[in-house]
Amino acid sequence: MRECLYCHQYIDKSMSFACLFNQEKAYLCSECVSKLEKVQGGCRRCGKKTTDEICSDCLYWQSLQDTNKYLVNNTSLYYYNDFAKALIQQLKFLGDCKLLLAFKPDIQAIFKKVKHNNIILVPVPLHEERLAERGFNQSYLLAKLIKLPILDIVIRNDNTKQSKKRKQARIVIDNQYQLKEEVDLTNKTIIIVDDIYTTGATIHKIARLFFNSGVKKIYSFTLFRS
């Protein structure tokens, strides 16, 4: 019997013939799974819950013309509801990185459809101090669940939490992130991986770093969309 990673209830899996063929492991109990809300519809570019085709945030990013060319869209798995908040709380602030395994089946299902050549994953970095404090970079671990090559060349300069900033402070473009070295990524496609997409500032700031490296397209993948 397996325990649910979050609530520690035993996962109730009734025996059937399907069990023999279906090797997929369940990490969350059915009750916890039902509390997760999958992203459906919404903004065409970022998945925000909205009736507009493209949400106001995305229009703002579009107005900063140069991004438009490369950054195609964002894919998120779930909405950032109360349950997701509790999960993130346990994952990031208690430091329970095993919880990420819970999303493994869904993440791999999404990336099954992706053609694998020339794709590189770029996890959003943590500041060194924060990394030492937490013990892991959740974005990096998330990227590891997707079986694609990872390029960890971005470093983070400031140590303030993104969630502690106002929206205006977030979207100001500064040198919060930096490339370790210049790399040649001609004809490559980049997927930026992060845990939560709120205003899109982080993703866009990192995307900017790659404009001069000859990438073909930049996508982003986040676990939650708030």
Q: Which residue ranges make up the site for other proteins (CB under 8 A)?
A: 90, 94-98, 131-132, 135-137
What the block records as the tokens of 124 is 């959003």
What is the distance between the alpha carbons of residues 101 and 93, in angstroms, rounded to a whole number? 17
Residue 132 beta carbon to other proteins: minimum distance, rounded to whole angstroms: 8
Residue 90 beta carbon to other proteins: minimum distance, rounded to whole angstroms: 7
Residue 137 beta carbon to other proteins: minimum distance, rounded to whole angstroms: 7
Question: Residue 35: how many CB atoms within 10 A of its CB?
Answer: 16
The DSSP string of 169-209 is HHHS--SSEEESS----TT-EEEEEEEEESSSHHHHHHHHH
Instruction: Choose between 8 and 38: whose C-beta lies nearer to other proteins.
Output: 8
Instruction: Choose between 17 and 93: whose C-beta lies nearer to other proteins.
Output: 93
* Residue 223 · residue 193 · CB < 8 Å: no
Q: Quick one: which of 158, 145, 130, 142 has its CA closest to 196?
A: 142
Instruction: Choose between 69 and 98: whose C-beta lies nearer to other proteins.
Output: 98
Strand order in the sheet with 71-79: 71-79, 217-225, 189-197, 119-123
Instruction: Choose between 49 and 144: whose C-beta lies nearer to other proteins.
Output: 144
Residue 101 beta carbon to other proteins: minimum distance, rounded to whole angstroms: 9
Residue 135 beta carbon to other proteins: minimum distance, rounded to whole angstroms: 4
Instruction: Choose between 61 and 103: whose C-beta lies nearer to other proteins.
Output: 103
